[in-house]
Amino acid sequence: MEFVATCPKGFESLLAGELHALGAEGVRPLVGQVSFTGGLADAYRCCLWSRLASNVTLVLARVGAANADQLYEGLSGIPWEDHVAPGATMAIEARGTNDQLRNTQFVALRSKDAVADRLLSRRGARPLVNTDAPDVGIVVRLSRERALVGIDLTGEPLFNRGWEAPLGHGRLAPRRADYAAALLEAGCWFRDVRHGSPVLVNLFPGTGSVAVEAASQALDRAPGLLRTRWGFSHWAGHDAEAWDALATEAADRAAAGAENGVELLLCDTRPGAEGAARRALRAAGMDVEPRFLAAGELAAAVGDGSPLLVADLAWPQPDDLVSEAEALSLFSAGAGAVAGHEGAGVAALSPDDAADAAAGGEPAEAIPVILGRDDATIRCYDPMSLSAEHPLVQLRGDAGSVPVLVGASDQFAARLAKVAKLRAKWAAREDVSCYRVYDADLPDYAVSIDLYRGSATPGRWLYVSEYAAPRDVDAGLARRRLLDVLAIAPRVLDVDPANVHVRVRTRARGGSQYADGGREGRGGSARDERPARRRDGRVELPRGAHLVDEGGLTFEVNFSERLDCGLFLDHRETRSMVRELMKRTPGGSFLNLFAYTGTASCYAADGGAGLTTTVDLSRPSLDWARRNMERNGFVGRNYEFIQADVLQWVADRRHEHRYTWDLIFCDVPTFSNSNRMHASSWDVQRDHADLIISVSRLLSRGGCAIFSCNLRSFKPDVEALEKAGVELEDITAKTIPEDFSRNPKIHHAYLVSRRG
């Protein structure tokens, strides 16, 4: 018989080797699959013992598939009465297309008709179709003008072992068991298992997939031992006697293998990792107790031994830079611990070549694989060729050391420690709890780092923003520097890595601090005075949000659910200016345009404003602003919130000649082309004059406005404004906080008034 075992792309050579070891004959690797020959017992053994295969198909025939009629005729010639028992249900799985058969659903439908018509002609009854749990799964795979037709012997994919947790645990997204097995196979774990008591050092184990697969091999447990349903169970050609013999043998081997020894040394910095790994081992039925180590304990734990070091450097998503930085730092420490150890092995699943810098050498083999839709590699290293001296940054005081990818990162660590100490003294003196610690002080480490400290509940969070590297800087080097920043900064600033948040920010025109982050609200204009939802008399705190203090007020910030966290630190002085200006007009009115989370409205109300009007296009932002106001005690009809396109709303108010405000704050986006705006687009350099003139017409006698934007190259159109009777005073220097002094172009601010 001929069989085909499918697998993820890149696994073909590994799977071919595994099938050879399982006794298969005629093994031939193809793309995404490996064909082999043998009897049914050989296929059953592959189903039960293969750790790398996804499915196993018994090939019945290869038929012509140049068009739908030819495919129908080819399937009609197969004796389906020998495969689908009377009363059994079936389902067709179709894959692949060609010039004439372009839709897999149509291929499946036409194939089902051929099978059903054949059985109708032989038995007088058509079979039932059950796509969820069929008794017989029929596979039709198109390749050019031919189709492979077979019986699915597996049913549910083999990588579903039966012990996996149904969902991930936060940052501990689950890794599929076949990828875990491929890592171990590439690192020659089977060799270690055969030569006595094997030792596995598993870095970033996540939910424990690698640990379970390693223990399963060491204890001689078949990966399919826990499965209760197979694709061949109700197939008419099933050899129950052969299967029962294999299942009994597997159970006997598992019972005998329970006495085998295996040592699992696991290291993961993320909360919940230890519990998740232990739960996975218990769920898989293995009485193995792993040891969890800190990064600094790896070298002592390894000693002079020759373990297999396996690292998963792609947790949990390719764009989770914080997790990647932690994983690479651990991998560097682990690779240094086994470097030069004869007989040891090192294998890593990595999204890019940053693993090479962490390992301290080039891989002996790199196997391309696909993770979801992204490219990755399984990289295998020879410990004898790795350098035992990895770049290491020694931190000040009792902070210890951090393995890094770039040797020069020690300069960043020293600079960050110095400015952090100075900034902390300044913040304590000025009673500032949220401030910028670092802002591209070293050009090669072009990031900004903001520190936020909680008010109602203790907590410290870092918000790291990367500036786009110049085009002449190698992208890989820039990424490794960023990863070093994310490994060093939490240690220097005493912040849990789970509380570090990062984003990429460019200097290019078109970006805006308001461009994303909660702009899901529907368009339109409406006055809304609904109170924020309360729980036990308190304003509800949304998921992922925290409370911080500034200027004697409390604000909600959120680092995980929005692009921007809700409190722009560079406007700290501007907000204080709003409060002081409001004090000069007790009971006066305040208008906040492009209000975002309403922080300026809170300052104005605190300064004595009798009326505040908060306008923004985003419903979530207005809800956020309302919560900020209510937390600070500003509740009632005098504090109004209006959802509207600000540009159109200002134009309408200007021409109504009924509304004026004593103080207006207008912090505009740099650029916007939202389809909810009445105008086709907004460009602050092009359109600012018309907006400022319109805003000036909403000022009461003697009133003023603050206009700000964050376009570095912004130049006001003074001539047009003077012609319209608008006076503009540049107050930027007065609004730049001390912690932003290195970056005075972080924003521009102007005091706007109207002559006469």
Q: How does pLDDT run across 711-750, given as a tens digit for each residue?
A: 999 999 999 999 999 999 999 999 999 999 988 899 999 9
Q: What pLDDT score does 678 carry?
A: 61
CA proximity to 307, closest of 284, 350, 337, 282? 337
List Cα–Cα distances, 25 to 4, 89, 241, in angstroms: 12, 32, 22
| Domain architecture of the chain: domains with CATH | 2-152 (3.30.2130.30), 177-219+260-385 (3.40.50.150), 392-505 (3.30.750.80), 526-754 (3.40.50.150)
Q: What's the rounded mean pLDDT across residues 45-56?
A: 97
DSSP class per residue in 542-572: PTTEEEEEETTEEEEEESSSSSS-S--GGGH
User: Would you give the DSSP letter of residue 175?
Assistant: P
- With a pLDDT cut of 70, the percent of the chain lying above it is 92
Q: Whole-prediction pTM value?
A: 0.79
- For the stretch 264-281, pLDDT in tens is 999 988 888 899 999 999
CA proximity to 668, closest of 691, 640, 649? 691
Q: Give the pLDDT band (50/70/90) at residue 524.
A: very low
- List the structure tokens of 144: 């050019």
Average pLDDT, the chain: 90
The residue with tokens 């993320």 is 270
Local structure of 683: helix, strand or coil: strand
Q: What pLDDT score does 540 carry?
A: 85
DSSP class per residue in 190-233: HHHHHTSS-EEEEES-TTTHHHHHHHHHHTT--TTTT----TTT
CA proximity to 327, closest of 168, 441, 487? 487
* Backbone φ and ψ of 462, nearest 5°: -110, 140
Q: What's the rounded mean pLDDT across residues 69-75?
A: 96
Q: Give the pLDDT band (50/70/90) at residue 675.
A: low
Q: What is the largest CA-CA distance in the chain?
A: 101
Q: What's the rounded mean pLDDT across residues 105-123?
A: 95
Residue 387 predicted with pLDDT over 90: no
Query: 209-218 and 177-186 helices cross at what angle (nearest 10)?
Result: 60
Q: What pLDDT score does 527 carry?
A: 41
Q: Look up residue 716 and give its amino acid.
A: P
CA distance 15 to 6: 9
CA distance 371 to 374: 5
Q: What's the rounded mean pLDDT across residues 643-669?
A: 92
Residue 295 predicted with pLDDT over 90: no
